[in-house]
Amino acid sequence: MVCAEGYLFELERRGYLQAGAFVPEVVIDNPEQVTSLHRDFVRAGSDVVEALTYYAHREKLRAVGKDGMLEEMNRQALALAREVADESGTLLAGNVCNTNLYDPQNSDSHGPTRAMFEEQVGWAAEAGVDFVIGETFRYAGESQIALDVIRQAGLPGVITLAVGQQAETREGDSLADACRRLADEGAAVVGLNCIRGPATMLPLLAAIVAAVDIPVAALPVPYRTTEDQPTFQSLREADAFLLPDGRPFPAALDPFTCNRYEIADFTASAHAAGVRYFGLCCGAGPHHVRSMAEALGRTPEASRYSVDMSKHAFFGTAPGLQEHNREYRDRL
């Protein structure tokens, strides 16, 4: 299974969404852009159209003073995804995410957290989603509430945790234990998404695969994270004087972006480690998704235009190319 994500960053780059709050007002303001990106991702090989309801939740909209848009934003995001899922024959997924409200030490936050999931999952169920993705949870406890709400609605839940610089949940649980609990509580798929790039997510996957008997998901951010800087928030530039906050996250990560061959390499390695649900998170573009699909042996529609250098005027090898250009290649 391939499930393209990364809507917020891609729409931010295209000029339709604001970095910082990362609220998907684009579904109201420029819905055609969301539809277009859904189509781009399906064309690149995504088996799923995921409604752009990430951060379209009560706590986030309250924080930016847009509470009144909550239901409209969710229903519109679901309708846009529905249209593309129907026309392409792909699955439709609803989405809930980290509430930023849940606090394991404060039991008063647990009820409102559940209520936020209930309203979003309710709208997703009414839209007829095939399953609900609950993602980017740093707290295992919060992910368990999301899963419970999804199961109560009678829907399959794909639950993925977001892992910071320490390879554990924010409560300090091992990822294997947290994922095993989610599997025991009825998750259809468990795994990791966002925050870590391929190089620093890959080493965490085998232990999760070994801990559960359901499919495991891996959706890294397409950035060159390292052992010292394992997350995209912790990446640093040597010469950062141009960066307003002194760090590349979120709007100056371009020089760290993985190329499509690195994504293909990650996909093959993660598949060998037992991962069966693939995707990419913040920062991914359709070319990354296509590379992932092709590494799994697929030929999505966009593969028609996958790289073929044989007819390049200077680097090509096809008959009929001008020899005087081919001889010049090393001077380009």
Least gap, CB of 6 to Zn ion (angstroms): 7
> Residues 247-286 vs Zn ion: string with x where CB under 5 A?
----------------------------------xx----
Cβ nearer to Zn ion, comparing 5 with 40: 5
Least gap, CB of 88 to Zn ion (angstroms): 23
What is the C-alpha separation between 269 and 197, in angstroms, rounded? 14
Least gap, CB of 281 to Zn ion (angstroms): 3
Side by side, which strands form the sheet with 48-50? 48-50, 91-97, 131-137, 157-161, 189-193, 216-219, 277-278
Q: DSSP labels for 274-288? A: T--EE---TT--HHH
> Residues 285-304 vs Zn ion: string with x where CB under 5 A?
--------------------
Return the DSSP state at 195. S
Place of tokens 């073929």: 308
Place of tokens 């995921």: 50
Contact (CB, 8 A) for 250 and 10: no
Return the DSSP state at 108. G
> Residues 145-184 vs Zn ion: string with x where CB under 5 A?
----------------------------------------
Contact (CB, 8 A) for 94 and 129: yes
Interface with Zn ion: number of residues (CB under 5 A): 3
Least gap, CB of 130 to Zn ion (angstroms): 21
Does residue 37 touch Zn ion according to CB under 5 A?
no
Least gap, CB of 282 to Zn ion (angstroms): 3
Candidates 36-44, 125-133, 178-186, 191-199: pick the segment binding Zn ion (CB under 5 A). 191-199
Burial class (CB in 10 A: 0-12, 13-18, 19+), 308: exposed
Cβ nearer to Zn ion, comparing 6 with 215: 6
User: How many secondary structure helices (H) and strands (E) does the chain include?
Assistant: 12, 7
Out of 17, 194, 295, 302, which residue is the one contacting Zn ion (CB under 5 A)?
Answer: 194
Residues lying near Zn ion in the complex (CB under 5 A): 194, 281-282
